[in-house]
Amino acid sequence: MTTMIQISDTLHNELVKRKLFERETYEEVIWDLVEDTKELNMQTKKEIAKSRAEVKAGKFYTLAQLKSQIAEIYTT
Q: The pTM is what?
A: 0.51
For 26, residues 6+ apart whose C-beta sits below 8 A from its C-beta are 15
The reported pLDDT for the residue numbered 14 is: 96
pLDDT values of the chain reduced to their tens digit, one per residue, 76 residues:
888 999 999 999 999 999 999 999 999 999 999 988 888 899 999 999 999 999 999 999 999 999 999 999 998 7
